[in-house]
Amino acid sequence: MNRDLAHLQPYPFEKLAKLKAAVTPPTDMSHIAFSIGEPKHASPDFVVKALADNLNGLSVYPTTKGSLELRTSIANWCTRRFHLSEGVLSPEDNVLPVTGTREAIFAFTQAAVDRVPGALVVSPNPFYQIYEGAAYLAGATPHYLNCLADNNFIPDYDAVADDVWDNCQILFICSPGNPTGAVTQFDTLKKLIALADKHDFIIASDECYSEIYFDEANPPIGLLEACEKLGRHDFDKCVVMHSLSKRSNLPGMRSGFIAGDAKLLEPFLKYRTYHGCAMQAQHQIASIAAWDDEAHVLDNRNKYREKFREVVNILSPVMEVKQPDASFYLWAKTPIADDEFAQRLFAEQHMTVLPGSYVSREVDGIVPGAGYVRMALVATLDECIEGAKRIRTFVESLT
């Protein structure tokens, strides 16, 4: 077996399952899960219909590159959403459909990493665990950049040593961030692009939460938009990953895309022809319907706005918690150790949250997720309100 498999740690939810198995929740309370970032809003009816109406696509092999119609739909959406100059994002050269951002992140890392001694894949910490696993299995070493409250949960890139940048092959950024919801701003993106030019590494921006934000006048900026502002129309060294899972409540459809530097996407397409991960034809057609419509996305954001308003109002008197820049996560500071908080909350209130230490690694003596829990406000409004009340009751019992 691949010796690098030994580097992989259990997924956070495996750890959480063991933590919960050690206690017994109250049987007179229904379970409410704030732990998993799986959207629970209804999938758009018109997308479901497009999927059902095109099941004849099961009779053909889909192409790895995806249909021109899908790639055009994606390119048009990116152009509208990120204010790109008309035609700079070519459906032929700058866009590839993928079967969800997790698959794309993992596969792109395997294709992009040159297995030389000292190769690094740099990522935020806390982080989405696929960055770490993809790095190890590509023959690279993960390098973590702590995301702390005093820097609005964005890494302090100025503190990164030159030898780290020299050995960096891929820098993962996640904006809006998982688990913190922090958005990386233009000035920081500009700085990172300059560093990529100087040290010759790829910036891979995971933007799957970009469409869940709270101020309609100020949607989160993306890496392609930063390239546009800099006149960087070849998107040199820059790729982005997006998904319909959060934007359109379609996690089961496994539909997303990678877009950006054509020089990177061409060899990645070659890798994908061997990888065997082409999106099903009917899913491509349904994806076009989703990318072409914004009304359902606005409705989705409105639902999250209402839930955040209610939950933050309930919790803020007893916990250090505030609405994030974007995403559907609350990154809440705990009055006791985060794993103890999660275990006792489950035992006493039948509520599940994710300990922040489970999505962090120790760096320079700091585990940046320790003392926090991640709450995914994906349940119904009523469940979110009830869940927030239970958490408040639990926190008040601690004092």
Q: Are residues 317 and 368 in the same domain?
A: yes
Q: Are residues 121 and 151 in the same domain?
A: yes
> 298: Cβ–Cβ under 8 A, 6 or more apart, which residues?
216
Q: In a 3-state reduction of DSSP, which class is residue 231?
A: coil
Q: What is the pLDDT of residue 29?
A: 97
Q: Are residues 251 and 321 in the same domain?
A: no
DSSP string for 84-128: PPTTSS-TTTSEEEES-HHHHHHHHHHHH----TT-EEEEEES--
Tell whether 251 is covered by a domain: yes
Tell whether 48 is covered by a domain: no
Q: What is the pLDDT of residue 197?
A: 98
- Distance (Å, whole) CA 82 – CA 221: 7
Burial class (CB in 10 A: 0-12, 13-18, 19+), 264: buried
Q: What is the pLDDT of residue 174?
A: 97
Q: Are residues 116 and 259 in the same domain?
A: yes
- Distance (Å, whole) CA 220 – CA 211: 8
Q: Are residues 199 and 344 in the same domain?
A: no
CATH number of the domain at 340, please. 3.90.1150.10
- Distance (Å, whole) CA 321 – CA 335: 12
Tell whether 164 is covered by a domain: yes
How many structural domains are present in the chain? 2
Q: What is the pLDDT of residue 399?
A: 80
Q: Are residues 35 and 160 in the same domain?
A: no
Q: What is the pLDDT of residue 57?
A: 84
CA 223, 227, 228, 234 dihedral sign is negative
Q: In a 3-state reduction of DSSP, which class is residue 373?
A: strand
DSSP state of 378: -
Q: What is the residue whose two structure tokens read 């690094």?
A: 120
Q: Are residues 18 and 145 in the same domain?
A: no
Q: Which residues pair with 98 in a beta bridge?
A: 256
> 348: Cβ–Cβ under 8 A, 6 or more apart, which residues?
26, 394, 397
Residue finishing a domain among 293, 309, 342: 293
Q: Are residues 72 and 193 in the same domain?
A: yes
- Distance (Å, whole) CA 367 – CA 146: 8
Tell whether 125 is covered by a domain: yes
Burial class (CB in 10 A: 0-12, 13-18, 19+), 226: buried
Q: Are residues 227 and 346 in the same domain?
A: no
- Mark out the alpha helices in 221-294 (DSSP H runs): 223-229, 244-247, 262-275, 281-291
What global pTM score does this model have?
Answer: 0.96
Tell whether 47 is covered by a domain: no
pLDDT in tens, the chain (399 residues): 989 999 999 999 999 999 999 999 999 999 999 999 999 999 999 999 999 999 998 888 999 999 999 999 999 999 999 999 999 999 999 999 999 999 999 999 999 999 999 999 999 999 999 999 999 999 999 999 999 999 999 999 999 999 999 999 999 999 999 999 999 999 999 999 999 999 999 999 999 999 999 999 999 999 999 999 999 999 999 999 999 999 999 999 999 999 999 999 999 999 999 988 999 999 999 999 999 999 999 999 999 999 999 999 999 999 999 999 999 999 999 999 999 999 999 999 999 999 999 999 999 999 999 999 999 999 999 999 999 999 999 999 998
Residue finishing a domain among 269, 293, 317: 293
Q: Which of 210, 181, 213, 109 is nearest to 329 (CA)?
A: 181
Tell whether 49 is covered by a domain: no
For the sheet with 372-376, list strands across it. Answer: 329-333, 372-376, 354-355
Tell whether 182 is covered by a domain: yes
| Residue 59: domain span | 54-293
Separation of CA 279 from chain center: 20
CATH number of the domain at 112, please. 3.40.640.10
Q: Are residues 29 and 105 in the same domain?
A: no
Q: Are residues 17 and 107 in the same domain?
A: no
Q: Which helix (H) or strand (E) holds 187?
A: helix 186-199
Residue finishing a domain among 236, 258, 293: 293
- Distance (Å, whole) CA 307 – CA 290: 23
Tell whether 345 is covered by a domain: yes
Q: Which of 34, 204, 235 is nearest to 124 (CA)?
A: 204
Q: Which residues pair with 366 in a beta bridge?
A: 363
Q: Are residues 288 and 304 in the same domain?
A: no
DSSP string for 292-336: T--HHHHHHHHHHHHHHHHHHHHHTTTSB----SBSSEEEEE-SS
Please give the backbone phi and psi of residue 220, each rounded to the nearest 5 degrees, phi first.
Answer: -60, 135
First to last CA, the chain: 51
Please state whether the peptide bond connecting residue 126 to the residue before it is cis, i.e. omega within 30 degrees of 0: yes
- Distance (Å, whole) CA 143 – CA 164: 8
